[in-house]
Amino acid sequence: MLRFYESFAACFGTVVLAVIFASLVTEYRLEFEANYKLLILCLLLAFGYATFRNVVAHFCDPDEQLKRLSMRVHMLEQRLMQAHPELRGETIDAFECPKCNMVSTTLTPDGNCPYCHAAVAVD
C-alpha cells in the first residue's frame, strides 16, 4: 500500500512540475492548447513511470517474492492435505496392516489404515 502512495506522490509531483514547465515554456502566457498537450504528455509519462515502477517492484522485490512463494506453499499444503488425508495423521511406530499387508507409520485421523482404510489396532 505504501508503494501506491509513493507512486501517487510521484505522479502528483510530475503534474505540478509539468504545469510549472508549461508556464515557463509559454513565457507565463496561458496558451491553453500548448499547456494542454504538454500536460497530457507529462501525465502519460508520469503514470507510465509509476506503473512501470510498481510492476518492477512487484516482481523484483525479494520480500514480495517471499510472500508470494510462502502463500503458494501454504496453498499447496492445504491441497495436499485435502487430497491425502492420511498425511494429516499422527506419526507412530511402523505397523503392518493385517488386511492389505502395507507397512505405514501414519494413521488416518479416525485411526484407520491410510491405504485400505481398515480399522487398525496399534499398541
Per-10-residue mean pLDDT of the chain, 123 residues long, equals 62 68 60 65 74 71 77 85 66 77 80 84 65
Q: What are phi and psi of 119, to 5 degrees?
A: -65, 135
The CA-CA-CA angle for residues 8, 13, 15, to 5°, reads: 95
pLDDT reported for residue 9? 67
Q: What is the pLDDT of residue 23?
A: 65
Alpha helices in 1-123 (DSSP H): 2-25, 32-60, 62-83
CB 38 within 8 A of CB 21: yes
Residue 69, SS3 per DSSP: helix
pLDDT at 91: 55
Q: How do the domains of the chain map onto residue ranges?
A: 2-74, 86-123
Alpha carbons 57 and 51: distance in angstroms, whole number: 10
Q: What is the pLDDT of residue 50?
A: 72
Task: Kindly state the cell numbers that stand for 11.
Answer: 505522479
CB 109 within 8 A of CB 88: yes
pTM greater than 0.85 (yes/no): no
Q: What is the pLDDT of residue 94?
A: 76
pLDDT at 34: 61
